[in-house]
Amino acid sequence: MEFDAIVVGGSFAGLSAAMQLARARRRVLIVDAELPRNRFSHASHGFFGQDGRKPADIIADARAMVLAYPTVDFVKGEAVHAARTDDGFAVTLANGDKHEVARLVLATGLIDELPEVPGLVERWGKSVFPCPYCDGYEVAGRRIGVLATFPQIHTAMLLPDWGDTTFFTNEAMTLDDEQTAALHGRGVAIETAPVVALIGDAPALSGVQLAGGRVTPIDALFTVGTTRMASPLAEQLGCEFDEGPLGPVIRTDEFQATTVPGVYAAGDAAQAFANATMASANGVMAGVGAHQSLVFARAA
């Protein structure tokens, strides 16, 4: 085998997995297209020891640390195909290079399919956010909006802890009496008119324009869209998926092993709740699981 393991994806999860394999002195290849899901974020918050740093800076430092191990190689590129071989896997890159490997770690991430609201895309990660715990503190005390994309009030119930909150149902749901009472109990204003655009000097946000021309002043907006796999590899290999709240995620066990022996998955592609700390943590488990499978498979 050319490598003991290939890690596809070089962000928080992939580098955490590669670190464990490197420290076990295994030959590791990291393949990364350098298009992480977090590239739109101005900073990573709530990540132990890294709070407030740019994701790109965190990744650059972590990559340098991993590549300091002599058994690790890095290739910038896209892995476009993976298939089982007689004794492992073959991974083909977009440039035609093919690598033979004993174990695979898929840290390939997700792609966000954002709500189709004019003005939203250019503000994503700057004044429009998916997660209160990641960015709520930075907009605390300001005018906050929540844009519904499916029937749930969870985020709107949380955000009054950070600031005055308006919940835009945007025809994605109809509130019942219990939900309305719960929101009013938290001091949330409810706006049922359809949202037609976000306004302001982008990427800043100054308001939400509603059908009919009314504008609700808003400084920050929280919303989510749907997600899809950023890579076809898991499907090509026959991995099973679970349905997450926003889209499919790769099914894994406690060691991040997929349903395909020898294939491990970590990060956003393999967890229902996206968070930098969790991505790194289950990347560690994927690396440990892949290493231990090499040891005990050969000893069996």
- Compute how many other C-beta atoms are within 10 angstroms of the C-beta atom of residue 241: 17
DSSP H helical segments within the chain, as ranges?
A: 12-23, 55-67, 132-135, 154-158, 177-185, 233-237, 276-299
What is the spatial distance between Cα 248 and Cα 232, in angstroms, rounded to a whole number?
A: 12
**Nearest CA-CA partner of 151 in 21, 28, 245:** 245
What is the per-residue pLDDT for 298?
53
Instruction: Give residue limits of the domains in the chain.
Output: 3-112+226-299, 115-222
Helix or strand or coil: residue 286?
helix
Extract the tokens encoding 225. 């869209």
- Compute how many other C-beta atoms are within 10 angstroms of the C-beta atom of residue 189: 14
For 84-110, the pLDDT digits (tens) are 999 899 999 999 999 999 999 999 999
- Helix and strand numbers (H, E) in the chain are 7, 19
The CATH number of 115-222 is which of 3.40.50.1820, 3.50.50.60, 3.20.20.70, 3.40.50.2000?
3.50.50.60
* Structural Rg of the chain based on CA atoms: 21
Amino acid at 113: E
For 40-72, the pLDDT digits (tens) are 888 888 888 999 899 999 999 999 999 999 999
104, 18 contact by CB (below 8 A): no
| pTM (predicted TM-score) | 0.93
What is the per-residue pLDDT for 137?
96
Q: Please determine, looking at this structure, whether the domain spanning 3-112+226-299 carries the CATH number 3.30.930.10.
A: no
What is the per-residue pLDDT for 62?
96
User: Which ranges of the chain have pLDDT less than 70?
Assistant: 298-300
Report how far apart, in Å, the C-alpha atoms of 231 and of each of 99, 185, 216, 262, 280 are: 17, 43, 39, 18, 19
Do 3-112+226-299 and 115-222 share a fold? yes
205: left (phi over 0), alpha (psi -120 to 50) or beta: beta
**CA angle centred on 213, ends 208 and 218, rounded to 5°:** 15
**Nearest CA-CA partner of 268 in 257, 254, 287, 283:** 283
